[in-house]
Amino acid sequence: MLTLSLIWGTSFILMKKGLVALAPDMVAALRVTIAGILLLPIALIKMKGIKSQQFGNLFLSGMLGVFIPAFLFTTAQLHIDSSVAGILNTLSPLWTMVMGALFYQQVFKRGAVIGIIVGLLGTVLLMISRTGGSISGFNAYGLLIVIACAFYGFNLNFIKFRITGIGSLAITSISIALIGPLGAIYLFGFTDFLETLNTVPGAWTSAGYVALLALMSTAIAVLIFNKLVRITTPLFASTVTYIMPIVSVGWGVLDGERLLVSHFVGMAAILGGVYFANRK
């Protein structure tokens, strides 16, 4: 769990480093492309026995859980600190519960409702804290991460209720392998990625950070998480979200980012909301 927290908590600073010389859509498309290539061997093995009608659902899962959020996160991180992005990412389990209730008739208790409200209040505090409390200075780019977390939440419910009889490793590897070509088509067909590599100083370094992001945060981290779920419980595995913000905050501070007291208050509110939402 600690290893997984370190990997996923570091992903936000890696995205920031990738954005130094690459455009947001380049970072997102490159990440998807590399992750698809890395997971392709596993996907080819796991495809045996998968029913043809399931491939559409697996592709949709890849779009909801990886492709679209990747573009939302990279765009947002041009305008907000990576530490704040890491904190906002803790909304994923809260959105999982909301989407389950809205679309799959899932019922949760009063404590979960309190957790959702407290967590959302925490995100609002984070997004206005850097403006001195002025609503007119509200950083709307933080909402892109909130939307990305909503996609994560819907996708987890979609996997649980619409993709059945398939292991989590197969779901992850096949869904990412299916969207990998789409990322490559966008990267080489709709951006000037190759020209940027050859002309922009630091572009190769940024691409290296994105490759590390795809390898660690998308490929290896998924394998570790599946192992964690198998040897423990989903509840224990979900506590990885409690540690990730601390890791992302630490990396942000080391990278020179400045945090205000209100950021820590917002972080405490979000983590408190996640805690109440996950209580038995």
pLDDT tens, position by position, 100-154:
888 888 777 777 778 778 877 877 776 666 555 554 455 788 899 999 989 988 8
Classify residue 217 by its DSSP letter. I
Q: What is the pLDDT of residue 133?
A: 54
Q: What is the pLDDT of residue 22?
A: 96
Tell me the per-residue pLDDT of 33-56, one tens digit each, with 9 for 90 and over. Answer: 999 999 999 999 999 889 888 999
Task: Give the chain's residues under pLDDT 70.
Answer: 82-83, 86, 126-138, 226, 229-230, 232-239, 241-242, 245-246, 248, 278-280
Give the residue from 105, 92, 101, 97 showing the smallest Cα distance to 147. 92
Q: What is the pLDDT of residue 239?
A: 65
How many angstroms separate the CA atoms of 186 and 71, rounded? 12
Q: What is the pLDDT of residue 82?
A: 64
How many angstroms separate the CA atoms of 246 and 93, rounded? 17
Q: What is the pLDDT of residue 255?
A: 72
State which residues form the domain around 154.
2-278
pTM score, whole prediction: 0.82
**Angle in degrees, 0-180, between the axes of helices 24-46 and 168-190, rounded to the nearest 10:** 140
Distance of CA 64 to the CA centre of its chain: 11
Count: domains in the chain: 1
Q: What is the pLDDT of residue 132?
A: 55
